[in-house]
A and B are shown apart, each in its own frame.
Chain A
Amino acid sequence: MVVSVLPRIAARRPHVLTIAPAPVTDDLLAVRLAAESEIARRGWPVADSPADADVVLVAGGLGRRMTALVRSVWATVPRPRVLVTVRSAGELGPGLDSAQERLARGGDSSDRDRVEWARSADVDLTDDNDGPPGVIMGGAGAPVMAGLADDDRDGLALDALHVALGPVLPHWPAALVVHALLAGDLVTDARAEVLDVPGPREVTRRRDAYTPDHVRLDSLVRVLGLAGADRAAARARALRDGEPAPGELAAFGHRLARSRTLAWTLGGIPLAATDHVAVPEPTVEARVRALAAGLGGSLAPPVRPAPHRAAAALVGLELGAARLALAAMDPDTALGAGPVEPFRPAERHEHHHHEHHG
């Protein structure tokens, strides 16, 4: 009896990992927003990573590379687990109901159902088998994990790490991959790619479907969520998904813009590391304040940079600061980016600290 009761209790609060394609149409954006809203309404937690997920929710139809990505992510989700795909906002309710029911009965099983070797944040993104571009490779044999960066300002050659960040990360722009070069936890180079959407391209949106306030609130949900200001993030999401009175929006924006703790937490992150200006605001703090202050007003929608511009602004930031910066800039992945030339692993020198076996 216990065997059947436990999964049922565990399935009462499934953690959901949502994977959404780039919002190249309003409908795709609508599915992603509806999914976030529905998961919050049910009180289900959002999974931090594939390791934390019970339900993998694919919100919208996917292209070839996103499909490959879902396949490799799914392979790393521990059982019991359920995969559910919805193509419209209307399918969400029944889809999540059935996911919970399947989870309570022990989850999906299939031939691919064993946990395979894979990572979560840096998944294999390509179909070819001799190593994806810009993705660190593991496994036995001769792993190529770290190359040598250019000489540091001190003349020391430091190890550098090539990683593909995203798109399965919390509060990360849909379908965006940032090919980054890391030295420690410092981003020393970054290039953007949007899976299945090579850029640059033009986007036309129905302006009436999503107001400037929707756009602002969606960016704020991400920044506040990443900053760990969970209550404010939940409030922003409720306002985004609901029908708030204009006064409510302005009051919320005013409170955010005035918050000293938030300003201190977000302070000191520049958004203008390069010559290419991604957004008009010089810092994350100013950007968030501008987003908050614009709520409930009649200002034009905030400037959302193209992904490659946003990625360039991450260079020189610590990883945590880079995440906040990206969320605050909130690049429009519908504009597309990439494809990206793979990073060439640096020539392997005999390092003063590394003496490799064999």
Chain B
Amino acid sequence: MIAANVMSTGAHTLTKEKTMLDAFKLISEKKVRQIPVVDAGNIVQGVITPRKLMKAILPRYIAEGMIEDVKFAPELPEFVENIDQLAYKSVEQVLDTEFVSVSPETSTMEIAALFVNAKKPIESILVVDHNKRLLGIISPWDVFKRLWEYAEKKN
């Protein structure tokens, strides 16, 4: 089994010029885990992840781990206000360029290992060709779904 077998194609994508408001629409209307950001040639520029968005609206001293637990503090009103400001930012301003991508020939074992051993938790893995053109996307459950289907077929 390789990446090309387990990936889902036709993922919802955004281009850099779009605003975060467009991203919010996509998030509320479609079931997306992370949104790949691509240019006109479908070449991956980065991803929008919920984790990165939360980082964008949290004060830096919390997001950077200077204080890990803030249960003793009342909620900052700015925290809610920040989401409004975020909506007007462009996708380019908040995209995460440190995404995990694999080639379509990557084995499922390697993909599973990537999910388990990644330094920062990965929402999903992108499948790209050698030009970084987006081919598909693999969520953690995708790996299992395809493996189960394969096992059922064999029996």
Q: Do A and B come from one complex?
A: no
A residues neighboring B (CB under 8 Å): none
B residues neighboring A (CB under 8 Å): none
